[in-house]
Every structure is written in structure tokens, then in C-alpha cells.
Amino acid sequence: MTGTRTATAIAHPNIAFAKYWGKRVGDGNFPAVPSVSVTLRGLSTQTTVAFREGLTGDRMMLDGAVADDAVLARMTAMLDRVRAAASFALFAEVTSANDFPTASGLASSASGFAALALAASRAAGLDWPADKVSDLARRSSASAARSVFGGFVELDAGPVAPTADDSLAARVVARADHLDLAVLVCVTSEGKKSVASTAGMRATAERSPYYATWLAEAPQIAARLKAALVAKDFDALGELTEASTFAMHASAMAAGVLYLRGATIDALAAVRELRGQGVAAYATMDAGPHVKVLVKTGDVPRATAHLAAVQGVLRVLDARPGDGAHIVDGANATAAASAT
């Protein structure tokens, strides 16, 4: 391949109902438990990859600034896989921007690696189906495998002893319009999270006395949760989302990995108050202090007002189910990897 090969992709963050927390032993970043999530619209990462002659290394601009070494190393690992698959050696110039602040409480790694996987594979001339793009994204960040697809998405646990030949992609459980759902993101802090999820998972696996219990429980919670989702049973979905969240955080906390802050607990109490008033509202938290609240769209004004009044909740974002990753070519946006 000669000259410049370029592609631009957009992807959106996702929120897990059934949490991925913990990895299989061995290489390949295979999750130890299954997860179920919803991909959100409104918030986006847009990434352009240009493989060019004459570059002496990969370069990356992230939100207008040169990416730090850790981010660049993670990106280069993915580009190396793409170069190997496409059998060429050109370095790339990557430009990526989020239209939501990194501190918004929504993981930018999921949308970031989903957009990068689609843009890089397409720029390299690999016309991969969505499941291969999802597998590529998973190797960098497992939650990113789910953002390749729109709507409601699942990712299985990886094989117990993964080999280099194994692959694992996310898949669609239901389209974005399957369930009447809004996710209210209660932002409780502007700072970066204290322990990144990869490190938090490692500490939990190494030190938590409850990690084995989490590994045993998580698949059962995920299976029941998926059934509730398919059956459109909003309350069962919400209760199982809370069960997954609290089990994940309890296992992490027992290893000293603490993501919750005072405002997190106060927002959780407010969610219970809403339920006490007859509003179907259920909470979830990821590797950070923010609380995401599942409600029906008709309850958004009332729930937003109640949550925004909690001391320590800085703002409440209203996110809805949306599309998977797709290619953007100038004025022409082609639905590519999205299966919805």
C-alpha cells in the first residue's frame, strides 16, 4: 500500500446493566464474566486515522492536545494488529475528539476504542464485518466491543484459557427502540477517576476475598437480566442492574478499590426516594463516583428535578439508546458496523 489511506468513524459510549469486571488469566483482554449494556446517543467520539508514508511513528491528537504516552501506547497496540492484518507497515496520524467532557462520568475508552477500531480497519482497507471490528476493539478495552453495536448489546465471557487464535465479539440483544428508557447521568465530580478500570480489576482479582463470589454470581445475574430485557420487564431489569452494580462494587471495595464518594451515596438515596414515590428509577455506577439512573422517558422531568437537587450532583445529563459505530466520509455517513 502506498500514499495515504484515511477513514473517519463515530462511536458512542455505553452503560453496562450487567457489569464486566475482571479478566481471564492470559493475554488478549478476555472478560471473565458476561456483560449486557445499552449504547447511548447524543454523546460521541469522532476519530480519523490516516496511514501515511514518511511518518517515523504513530501520532495522536486527543481533544486538541498531543496524547500522553500511556494513551499512545494503547492506541499503537491496536494499530499494530491492524497493520499485521493488512500486511503493511505505514505509521498513522490519529485525531480523536469527544463531544462530551472526559469527566462527564461516561467512559470515553469504550467510544474511543470502538471509533478507533472501525476507522483504523477501514483506513487500512480491511472491509471487516462488525463482529471483527468488535473483537479488535475488545482487545484494547472490553467495554469498547459493545460500543461497536447500537441498542442493547451483550458480550460473553472469554474462554477459560484463551489462546492467540481465540476471538470474542459483542452482539446485539435488541434494537435501540426495544425499550422505553432514559439514562440520567448524575455527574458528581469534575476530576478524573482515581483508579482506572483495568487497574481496579487487577487489584480486585489479586486482593478481594469476594472476587470468587463475584465470578460465580455475575453470570447468573447477567442471564436473568438479559431475560428481563428481552421480556421488556423494566423493574426486573432495574433490580438486576442494581444487583450487578452492588456486587461489583462490593468485590472491588473489599480490595480497597473505592469509587464511591459522598455525593454518590446521596444520589443513591435519592433514587430510593423516587422509588418510594412510585417512580421506577434504578441506579448503576461504574469505575467512578457518578450515578447513572434508569428511568422511563415519561419520568425524566420529575426524576431529573429530584436528582439535580441532591447536594454534590453537579449536573444531570439525559442520554437515550442509540446507534453503533459508523463511518463518516465527508458529507456521506455510511452505517457500517452498526447492526441496528
Could you list the residues that contact ligand DP6 (CB under 6 A)?
Answer: 16, 19-21, 29, 35, 107, 109, 141-143, 197-198, 286-287
Mention every residue, 6+ apart, whose C-beta is less than 8 A from residue 57.
91
**In angstroms, what is the minimal distance from the CB of 233 to ligand DP6?**
21
Dist CA 17 CA 117 (whole Å):
24
Of 242 and 286, nearer to ligand DP6 (C-beta) is: 286
**In angstroms, what is the minimal distance from the CB of 83 to ligand DP6?**
21
Dist CA 133 CA 115 (whole Å):
10
Of 124 and 153, nearer to ligand DP6 (C-beta) is: 153
Of 194 and 198, nearer to ligand DP6 (C-beta) is: 198
Of 290 and 326, nearer to ligand DP6 (C-beta) is: 290
Of 10 and 107, nearer to ligand DP6 (C-beta) is: 107
**In angstroms, what is the minimal distance from the CB of 177 to ligand DP6?**
22
Dist CA 18 CA 245 (whole Å):
7
Dist CA 180 CA 186 (whole Å):
19
**In angstroms, what is the minimal distance from the CB of 295 to ligand DP6?**
20
104, 146, 262 from 248: Cα distances, Å: 21, 19, 18
**In angstroms, what is the minimal distance from the CB of 154 to ligand DP6?**
11
Q: In what order do the strands lie in the sheet with 91-98?
A: 65-66, 59-62, 91-98, 45-52, 5-11, 326-329, 332-334
**In angstroms, what is the minimal distance from the CB of 205 to ligand DP6?**
12
Helix-helix angle 211-230:197-207, to 10 degrees: 130
Half-sphere exposure of 172 (CA within 13 A, CB side): 19
CA 137 to chain centre: 11
Of 131 and 286, nearer to ligand DP6 (C-beta) is: 286
Q: What is the DSSP letter of 209?
A: T
Of 76 and 109, nearer to ligand DP6 (C-beta) is: 109
Pairing of strands 59-62, 91-98: parallel
**In angstroms, what is the minimal distance from the CB of 169 to ligand DP6?**
14
